[in-house]
Amino acid sequence: MSPIFTPHKCILFIACVLLSFCINAQTPATPITFGSIDLKDLQMKTYEKDTSAEAVVLCDYGEYSYYFGNDLPKVHYKRHIRIKILKKAGFGFASQKIPFYISSDGNKSESVTDLKAITWNLENGSLVSYTMSEEDFFEEKGSSNTYYKKFTFPQVREGSVLEFSYELESGMWYNLRPWNFQTNIPTIWSEIRAEIPAYFDFKITLLSFIPLKVKETKQDSRNFIRSNIRDPYLSYRFALADAPALKPEPFITTIENYRSKLEFELASTFFPNQGKIDYSQTWEALNETLLTSDYFGKQIKKYDEAQKIAETLKSQTKDSLSLLTAAYQYIQNSMQWDGDNRVFTSGTNLNKVAEKKIGNSAEINLMLVRLLRECGFEANPVILSTRENGFPTDLVLLDRFDFTIAHVVLNGKDLLLDATSKLTKVGQLPLRCLNDKGRLIVRKNSRWIPMPVPQTSRKVVLMEMDILPDQQLKGNVDISYLGHEAIYFKSAVLAKGKDAYLVDYKKNKPNYDFSKIAITGVDSAETMPLLKLTATVNEAYSIAGDRIYLSPMLGMGEDTNPFKTPNRSYPVEFGIPQEEIFSALYKLPADYTVEELPKSESIALPDNGGRFDFRLTVLEGGFKIDSKIVLKKPIYSSEEYGALREFYNRIVFKHAEKIILKQKDK
């Protein structure tokens, strides 16, 4: 339900504001004027800060202001954007669409006005413009009540500058649009100015890994409700310069977590004839909403079978941990997750969900909460935002959450459980849930609970190989997995089935002749998965004269650096501490000896953040190679990126080095 506004005739003096301000600061000129273009922008061939960019936003400028219409406040948006096209790959920016909302209640509708668009080109050294007319713009209906004003710039080529501006009138005075400082191409200048009557108290949240160039707030006054009375205002100005393109990088949750943006949330209004009206929800109110909801708290009581199951489990276990484990495994093994991330149940009674043995994340984990309570534990729901959904924020906004799990207190300690995965152990959450923190939903002492740092995820490769004539190796390989690596491997095998998985595995190793291959330990969360094989490897090394050149990692090392770009503005999120261990024992042919080994090397990341150890040892009749990569932190900051990138450069280099064997003199 949207806020209600009642017209009034009184003036309110606001003495306090949330942000620091300067008084009577002079308003600077707007950074861009429509139709006035700089020749340098047309002459630009590449963007020097990102020469790979197919286009660049020269300027994105917006103004938000309030006015009165039909005895109701309205928001007036102005937007002015200028884009430089640098390559053919940027031609897609010639097509633009502006979203707006039309409701059955006309007071909440939006309309786009004063839309203008020009293509600027440099032709034979002269500035040429192609101005779009009203007939070039059209409307298209999107989903629900959303519409789009759409258009495509004419005469677009490499070097064009595209300029458009528009105004938007909105009756949704309580819901200011967010401002994005970044897009998927670089932005040289992005600026937003907002003029907000002091009757409206907005929480303004800045989300940015890049420092703002401008961040100003000042007190002002102007006409709002009546033309002869000046009302108090707060004027905001925020600008960001030289924002890099927001592009997907390896090892992040979701790219939206790192978009620099401003968000506005109406906290309250304060009019003399209304008093203060709060719109911003408190955690206490949200808890009550959830706990009294037919789709959340009330559903916990509708899993009647839990009492009988709990009695059986209690009779079969001797201590708290084994009872908790039994309850967790009961829900885990008896229910099938439908793949749906949900805070709420679908509305189906949990008794019926239990009968069908399939449910969404909320249904399965609320069943777990009820069963744990029946077993005598202090158990409650926790809502969280999955990694794909983005970071949770301290703002009390239910739509920021998309998943429900269970919380239980065991021996005075918090324990988080998710029974949607059949491959996780007690105290082990799937990676999707490991996203900073979750909110405990209880009537008293509701709080944030940090997501646990999981145990180190480990992959271990053990190999014994005989070096044979004709470029062949023959031997055994054992690959084991621990922690989340075990979950990933088990999931991959079970998704395809063992036989189909092994067929694909063999296809991906065409130079292997397998005499034995088997997978064990994938059917239970409690077992360690193991891939064991015996094979002959063909074309395993090269021969030049009386020398053999062998890459001892045998294709199981790091062959490429996942971190391509020299710089990175946001953290590297592995999510889990990791280890990769490779140990191989090679037996030489009787008539060969080791002539040259790569040098051993040890590299440490700063602040004990990780380590790479690489060792080669000559043995009687053979040699041994040991490689160990340790990443101790689930998240590395952008400041640590350079060291991490160089760390991987060295790993790739060492893993690619060859051993030289020389035939003995006869």
Give the mean model confidence (pLDDT) for residues 612-624: 96
Helix, strand or coil for residue 558? Answer: coil
Contact 638, 565 (CB under 8 A): no
**Residue 22 confidence (pLDDT) above 60:** no
H helices of 593-663, where? 641-656
Element (H, E) at 71: none
Strand blocks (E) in 143-226: 146-152, 161-170, 179-180, 187-197, 200-207, 214-223
Buried b (16+ CB within 10 A) or exposed e, 226-258: eeeeebbbbbbbbbbeebbbbeebeebbbeebb
**Residue 125 confidence (pLDDT) above 50:** yes
Strand blocks (E) in 592-650: 592-596, 601-604, 610-619, 622-631, 635-636
User: In this predicted structure, what is the pLDDT of residue 26?
Assistant: 63
User: In this predicted structure, what is the pLDDT of residue 641?
Assistant: 97
Q: Which of 36-40, 198-202, 601-605 has the highest mean pLDDT?
A: 601-605
Distance (Å, rounded) from C-alpha 55 to C-alpha 57?
7
User: In this predicted structure, what is the pLDDT of residue 88?
Assistant: 97
What domains sit in the chain, N to C, each tagged with a CATH number? Answer: 53-278 (2.60.40.3140), 283-450 (3.10.620.30), 457-663 (2.60.120.1130)
Single-letter amino acid, residue 631: L
Distance (Å, rounded) from C-alpha 182 to C-alpha 242?
10
Reading the block at residue 178, the tokens are: 């967010």
Alpha carbon distances (Å) from 529 to 347, 495, 534, 582 = 38, 15, 17, 17
Residues of the chain with pLDDT > 90: what percent?
A: 78
Taking all residues of the chain, what is their mean pLDDT, rounded to a whole number? 91
**Residue 149 confidence (pLDDT) above 70:** yes
Distance (Å, rounded) from C-alpha 553 to C-alpha 615?
12
Instruction: State pLDDT tens for residues 289-304.
Output: 999 999 999 999 999 9
Helix, strand or coil for residue 532? Answer: strand
Distance (Å, rounded) from C-alpha 44 to C-alpha 527?
61
pLDDT-based confidence at residue 9 (cuts at 50, 70, 90): very low
Closest by Cα among 64, 478, 38, 383 to 236: 64
Reading the block at residue 253, the tokens are: 């949750």
User: In this predicted structure, what is the pLDDT of residue 18?
Assistant: 36
pLDDT-based confidence at residue 249 (cuts at 50, 70, 90): confident
Give the mean model confidence (pLDDT) for residues 421-446: 94
**Residue 355 confidence (pLDDT) above 60:** yes
Strand blocks (E) in 361-482: 379-384, 403-410, 413-417, 437-440, 448-450, 457-468, 472-482
* DSSP secondary structure, 258-294, as one string: G--EEEEEEEEEEETTTEEEE-SPPHHHHHHHHHT-T
User: In this predicted structure, what is the pLDDT of residue 7?
Assistant: 33
Q: In this structure, what DSSP letter does residue 422 have? A: T
Distance (Å, rounded) from C-alpha 235 to C-alpha 218?
5
Element (H, E) at 305: helix 305-316
pLDDT-based confidence at residue 120 (cuts at 50, 70, 90): very high
Q: Please count the helices (runs of H) and the strands (runs of E) in the chain.
A: 10, 37
**Residue 20 confidence (pLDDT) above 50:** no
Single-letter amino acid, residue 29: A
Single-letter amino acid, residue 619: L
Closest by Cα among 281, 191, 195, 193 to 232: 195
Distance (Å, rounded) from C-alpha 264 to C-alpha 267?
9
Pick the residue with more confidence: 592 or 272? 592
**Residue 605 confidence (pLDDT) above 80:** yes
